[in-house]
Every structure is written in C-alpha cells, then in structure tokens.
Structure 1
C-alpha cells in the first residue's frame, strides 16, 4: 500500500506534485524555494487509496469523475476509479471536462463528483476538487479531515461487490443547462476573442459558440494540452493574457475572455485589451440577474469595490458581504437564497447552478448585456461610475500577526471587521488586509473616492504593512 503524504490534503482540495514530472533535483522543485512546507508528491497508488477513502466519505452508490488537460489526468482518473470500485462504488467517467461540469452533474443527479485538476497551477502539479451530492464541496470542516484520516490509516471496510465503470459524454446536456441563463436571440453579432489556454474551457465554449451562430469568435488555444505550450493556465497573471489582448486589438473585437486551467474562473478584457477587475464583472452580472429576479440577494467577497453593493442597492437587490473562499460564499448564498455571488478572483456563483461557481454563465450574461446596451464594453464598464481601486498588492512580511495587530491599532477609530484578516472602513475609503493561506504574505485591497486619495492611502497602508511607518 502506497503511503500518502498528509500535505496533499488542503483547505479546499487535494493538490500535489506529479512524481513523473518533477523530483527533488528538478529545476521546478528548486525554483519553489522550500516547497516541502506545503507541497508533496502523489503517485497513482496514492490516488487509488484516496479513492477508497472517498467511497466511505461519500457513502453513495455512484460517483462521477472528470479531469482537465493535465498530462497525468487520465492515469489519475483510472487510479481513482480503481479505488472507488474496490469499495463497491460504481463510477461514471466523463473524460476531459471542466470543473463546473462536475458541479452540474453532482447537483443535477444528487451524486458525488471529483474533478482531477490543479486549477491554475503549473503543469507539474495535479489534484482533486471533490463534491458530495448536490455539488456540496469537500474541504476542511466539511469532510477533508475525515478523508485524510481514513486514507492515512489505510483501513477500509471489505466491500460486498466490486463496482463497475462506464463512460458518458455529458457535454451536450451540460451546454443545454448553460444556455438557459440567457436568450441567445438577444445576442448581437459581436466579435469575441476567447482564450482557453490549452485547458478544458474550449470544450463547452466551442459548443456554446456553435449555438450562437451570429457571434464572430476567434478561438485561441482551444486544443487541450497539458504541456500548456502557449502560456500558463492562469489568465489572472498579466503575462498569460498578452496573446489575448493583442488578438482583441488586432481583430477589432468587442471583448475578450479567458479561462483558467479547469475553467471554473473567467477573465475579461474590453475592446481595447484593458483587463476588467473581477468586482466590476460581479457588478455587471449582478445587474443582469437582478433584472431577471427583482429584489434578490447578491453575495460578494469582502475585498470588493463599493461598485458591487452600490449597484445591487440601485437595482433593488440586497447586498451581503462574505469572507473570501468558495465554501463561505456558497454557504452564505444558500442561507440567503442568493441568486448570484461573485469574488474578485474571478469565481462567480449561481443559485440555479447549484450554488456552484461557473466560468461560462458570466460570459453569456455579459454578451447579452453588451448586446442590449448597444455600447462598447468599456462604455458598459464606465456606466458603473467612477471607482478607484488599488488591485491586490502582495507583501512578504516576517510576522503576519504583527502586521494585523499594527493595522488594528493604527485604524482603531474606523469600522473594523475581522471575518477575513482585517477590513477597515471609513466613509470615503476602505481596505482589507488578509494573510495568504500558505505563505508569509499579506494581501492588500484598497479603494478611495479619488485616484489621488487611493494612491495616498495605498502608500500609507503599505508602509505600515512593510514596517516602514
């Protein structure tokens, strides 16, 4: 029996180095500095053991398995299926698919699912995102500890039967589900550039575009390739959207979109190639859904610009803030029956997608809004008003808690919120500082009523964070 390193079990998923792609002497491993604090290898024997543990945790007769474009995906899928079937669980292999496809089948059929993915991480990593029936995520505090402990102990009950494996093509059905979120006939013949980054986002995207034939689409890197030969699988890194922005300008496109490796996050640029922050997309998509569901609740993460609560209130909705992280956003959405939720990071959640995140519904909503407005994407964003944000700024610090304590002391006269790091709010400016989950890093997001004031306050807070004031 293969030993599984406990470090692969993380807050929201399983994440590990693929032994065939990286070892302790490789350039990638050395580049990480001291990766042993948070990364460990996982081979297919270990994946099988995790499958056996998941069988007990899920307690379900059938499990869906999908995988992204990573080179180790097919082998990991077979190994995971082996572990599940050893414990008497039937398996449906969906092949290559997006993470939100797994959320769909889990919610639709009330059965567990596993997407084998390392999301936006480099090609040397792989992992698993796991959900119980109803697309309810497995994480620390919601089953991950039990899974870890059972796998590390290596004690699994004897099964009365061996499960069987079948394959299914769920893509047409899944795209049917996505198309219910807009009226395709209202979409004008817009010109769009879409970058799948050699991940799996191109699979549903191509089918969506086929069903909206009036769109004029330039498809970039739609062929899944786990080598990610054209750019990295994280479009939120500026170097990974160079080709997209160039193509938008060259083609005279109305907008550009890009997905991360498993396509549960989506990134937008306007017709000039300018990146659009995730909270501004949240505000736009909130407007779209509040037109369809007047008075509904919208959940947004605590880092977001005032543009989100301002517009939710203007549209007659109820804005509710929550700490960063999908488990918190989804929990709060369920509690409030919220129709939509958004994070600055490009995760967008939908009640009618089983409260799960989805990388395609936001694109569809934006296409319809852009069509109905008759304006450009930059004008649509400008219609939200003037907001001055810093973007997320990371600082490596020797003592994270000392930084948080300095912030609390310095801004004790403000409205303070401690749900996620420290959130400080004054009438004309606000900010959030929160620690990274894995590194000695503090993340700052700040907003003020003018560009000059934003820059002044940003520099002021950064000086405190970095011990320079």
Structure 2
C-alpha cells in the first residue's frame, strides 16, 4: 500500500471509491486489500472511541446490492476479525438498519458499518460508519484513514467466527409497530393499511424488504411494486429519488395500478420520495411540506430545519399555514441534522431536519436520516386520512409552488476552486447591491441568496460552492412564466468577467 492516497477516499462523513473497472478514466482505488485495512482501522478507531479492547467489540456489517459488495464485505470483516472483533454479517441491509443495530437491546453492537455508495454508478462503493450515538463526522473519517495509512495493527489468532444474522427483519418489525401505534385503529389495529393499494420501487437496491416485511404485514395491497430484487447493475433506473427517470417510473406505476400511494427509495434506503393517488410526485419541497405538516401537528410551533435551496413558498407554508418556524441552513444532510440538534440543545424545539434530496431525520428516531422511517410516518398519516375520508395531500393544499425551477452547475476550471468560487460569490453580492430590485436575503448560511422583486422575475436565486466538487451550483425559482430566463439573462451580465468559470450550462 506504499504511496496509496488514502485521503482521496474521504467523501465528507463517508468513505467512497472506485471498486470496479468499466468506466473510462476511473481507476480502481477501493480494492479488497484496501477494504481489509479499513476494517482493521475502524476496529482500532472504535476501540479507542468506546474504551474497549478490539477483542471486546461487537460490530455489525451490511451492504447494498452493488456488484463489488460481497467481495469487499468479506475483506472488511476479515480485517476486523483479525483484530479480535466479534463480527455480525447482516448481508443485504439498509444504512438506517446498521445504526439501529447499535441501539437494539438484543444486538447492542458497539459499531455498525454499511457498504454503499448511495445512488452513484455501479462501479463505485464505499463505507458509512455508526456508533450508538450517531453516524461519524468528517474528522472521524479522517482519523480512520490516518490509521489505515499507518497500517500498524495488532492481530489475534484464532479469530472469532463471523456470525450471520437477519437483522433487517428486526428493523422492519419496528417500522410495522410504528404504524400500528400511530394509527391505533380500534377496528383493525394489526392491519391499518387494509383497503389501501401501495406500490413501492426499490430501484434494485436494498429497499425491497419494505414490501414483504412492512407493507404486507400492515395489510396493504402491494400489487404493482417493482424492482425489488437486489441487482447491482441497476438495470431499470438509477436508484435515486431525485432522478427524473426514477420518479417517472414510480409515478407511472401508481397510475397503471390505480394505487393510493407510491414510495421510492434510494440504493441504501436512507432517502425516500413518494407519489400521491393521482400520480403526482411528492418530493423536494412537496415532501418537506408534507412531513412538516405531520410533525407540526404533533409538535406545534417547533422548528423545521432544511437545506439552503428550499423555496419561498415552502417557508410561507411552514410559517403562515402551519404556524411553525422554518430555519433554512446549509446543504449536506449532516449539516441540517447537526443544526437541528444544536437548536434543541439551545432550547429551540426542533423535531425535523430534512434536505430537498430526501434525506429526512427526526428527533423521535435518533436524528437518523432514514428513508424507510420517513415513508412509515407518511403511511401512518395516509391510513388516518383514509379513516377520515380525506386525502393525504389535503395537508399541503395551501402550499404555493414556483412556476419555474432550475439548477445550473457552473464548473470552476482552476485548481484552487474554493478560493475562486468564494471570490465569485463575494463579487456577486456587490453586483446584487447595485441592482435596485434585487435584495440580498439575510440569515443565509452559505453562498448568496438573492430575492428578485421585479414583476417579470418574481423569484429568487442562490449561488453557493459545492461541498466537494469544483462547481458553483446555481438554483433559480420564479413565480411567473419566463422568470427564470429573465434572471439568467441578468446574471449573464455578471458571469462573463470570470474566465475560469464554465458557463455552458447557462446557455
């Protein structure tokens, strides 16, 4: 492993790399040898973190459906075993389930590990790590990679046998009880979804369990559910609720099967989106509005933390219609979760942290970004709505959505992209101040957000620096037809002076 670039494997609070050949100019850097060393590094990091010797540790390991998963999980578990850990192999699992194994009273694992690269292409893979407190942060990942680079690990012999366990059934049973207790039907307590047709789309990732282990025990008719079998080639569509093709597939499934509701998960089930009975998408701002309506029924006046690109209509809906507080923060699911936790610690009640990408975390569920739990909360409300002769979407009838919404990604073509990107943002603030009908939005936590107040624009835009890539994402929304084009036209007076900015997406 001499001269190996361990730091390149860090992706925020995860580890990600190229695990398979097959994509031009993407060299494999996540090999079985690397995975084994990472297993040893995590064992030693966890040992120090929880104050136990490696021989006293119990660690669960699961994976999604990726083609490289089986080989990498075996090597990773071998590395942990050689350090003396007791390893539980959960096989195909979900990311949220791996955290839950650390707090389940029967398993009580010291750590949990998920092999996944979320919605990334087939050739990628990676690791997400948990203790019984939460998922790891950036510094934790950097520390693990430093240990891997040093590669100075004591081993034991003989090693403990790796044990196989079906934990996903335990996790799913908890979701079933959540719905039963929330609906609390006096007529049909065990099967509160009876009479409802619900289709699910797992995108050939790890979420197929939700149909036979959650929906069916609750009495739902799941006819028309699709792509439930794990298949790491992802032959039907990208397993990503933000992907247009993926959302079109679940919308069509709802329409074709005359279903009451549709659910779609990403590869490792930490994100979800939904579809209403008419085949309309419930994702991004609509998903946030819907779960906010449910949370604010349960916790009136509390704070909803979202990422930075949520719409003005959503803010007005949360604050005027639901009488809650909308706290718009930074992009990044760990950012919104940590901000919600911080607010609670300071005495400001917050029960929901959610990104427009579908990462939703709730205080009642350990602030775990759990797509299956988010879907389960929606299902409980769906069942209650049916009992009252209403539709679930009646909850968001007053949500005003923008007429137009676009995202452009402006690539930065210099090495020091962060400094360059911040310079662009700084200069854009100066430009905005010179425009009589543009106003800089206060209390903005990343980039610059501008309210565009002329009648032919009537919207807003946000320019920010990407968390990891040499890109300036530009989000624009308008409440009038043609408004986005008008805003872009005015921005095109500003951007051309920056020679190291690729503006092709704007054109």
Contact 1:10 1:139 in 2 (8 A): no
Q: Do structure 1's residue 196 and structure 2's residue 241 form an aligned pair?
A: no
Q: Do structure 1's residue 282 and structure 2's residue 288 form an aligned pair?
A: yes
Contact 1:254 1:376 in 2 (8 A): no
Structure 1 residue 352: Cα displacement: 2.1
Contact 2:200 2:222 in 1 (8 A): no
Q: Do structure 1's residue 130 and structure 2's residue 152 form an aligned pair?
A: no
Q: Partner residue of 2:147? A: 150
Contact 1:68 1:96 in 2 (8 A): yes
Structure 1 residue 426: Cα displacement: 6.5
Q: Partner residue of 1:235? A: 241
1:12-43 superposed Cα distances (whole Å, 9 cap, x missing partner):
2111111xx30xxx4x224xxxx57xxx5211
Q: Structure 2 vs 1, CA of residues 460 and 366 (structure 1 numbering), >3 Å: closer, same or farther?
A: farther
Q: Structure 2 vs 1, CA of residues 86 and 227 (structure 1 numbering), >3 Å: closer, same or farther?
A: same
Give the Cα separation in 2 of the matches to 1:315 and 1:438.
35
Q: Structure 2 vs 1, CA of residues 339 and 161 (structure 1 numbering), >3 Å: closer, same or farther?
A: farther
Indicate the larger mover: 201-210 or 416-425.
Answer: 416-425
1:408-456 superposed Cα distances (whole Å, 9 cap, x missing partner):
2222352355632223347764332222344332212233454554553
Q: Partner residue of 1:262? A: 268
Q: Partner residue of 1:106? A: 102
Give the Cα separation in 2 of the matches to 1:16 and 1:386.
38
Contact 2:62 2:93 in 1 (8 A): yes
Q: Partner residue of 1:353? A: 365
Structure 1 residue 380: Cα displacement: 5.2
Q: Structure 2 vs 1, CA of residues 2 and 229 (structure 1 numbering), >3 Å: closer, same or farther?
A: farther
Indicate the larger mover: 440-449 or 454-463.
Answer: 454-463
Q: Partner residue of 2:446? A: 420
Q: Do structure 1's residue 52 and structure 2's residue 40 form an aligned pair?
A: yes
Contact 1:205 1:360 in 2 (8 A): no
1:177-202 superposed Cα distances (whole Å, 9 cap, x missing partner):
22344335454733332111111111
TM score, norm. by length of structure 1: 0.87
Structure 1 residue 10: Cα displacement: 2.0
Equivalences for 1:438-449 in 2 at 5 Å? 438-449=468-479
Q: Structure 2 vs 1, CA of residues 441 and 8 (structure 1 numbering), >3 Å: closer, same or farther?
A: same
Q: Structure 2 vs 1, CA of residues 158 and 196 (structure 1 numbering), >3 Å: closer, same or farther?
A: closer
Structure 1 residue 144: Cα displacement: 1.4
Secondary structure of 1:435's aligned partner:
coil
Give the Cα separation in 2 of the matches to 1:214 and 1:409.
56
Structure 1 residue 376: Cα displacement: 5.0
Secondary structure of 2:477's aligned partner:
strand
TM score, norm. by length of structure 2: 0.81
1:214-233 superposed Cα distances (whole Å, 9 cap, x missing partner):
44442101011112122222
Give the Cα separation in 2 of the matches to 1:276 and 1:282.
9
1:105-162 superposed Cα distances (whole Å, 9 cap, x missing partner):
234436311100111011111111112222x222323x11111111112122455984
Q: Partner residue of 2:230? A: 224
Contact 2:404 2:479 in 1 (8 A): no
Aligned CA-pair RMSD: 2.9
Of 420, 428, 435, which residue of structure 2 is paired with 1:407?
428
Indicate the larger mover: 230-239 or 200-209.
Answer: 230-239
Secondary structure of 1:456's aligned partner:
helix
Contact 1:99 1:115 in 2 (8 A): yes
Gaps of 5+ in 2: 51-56, 186-191, 345-349, 414-419, 434-438, 498-502
Q: Partner residue of 2:171? A: 174
Give the Cα separation in 2 of the matches to 1:325 and 1:386.
23
Secondary structure of 1:212's aligned partner:
coil
Q: Partner residue of 1:321? A: 328
1:58-109 superposed Cα distances (whole Å, 9 cap, x missing partner):
1251211110011221221221111112222211111111111112223443
Q: Do structure 1's residue 42 and structure 2's residue 30 form an aligned pair?
A: yes
Give the Cα separation in 2 of the matches to 1:230 and 1:205.
18
Gaps of 5+ in 1: none
Contact 1:87 1:163 in 2 (8 A): no
Secondary structure of 1:121's aligned partner:
coil
* Greater radius of gyration (CA): 2
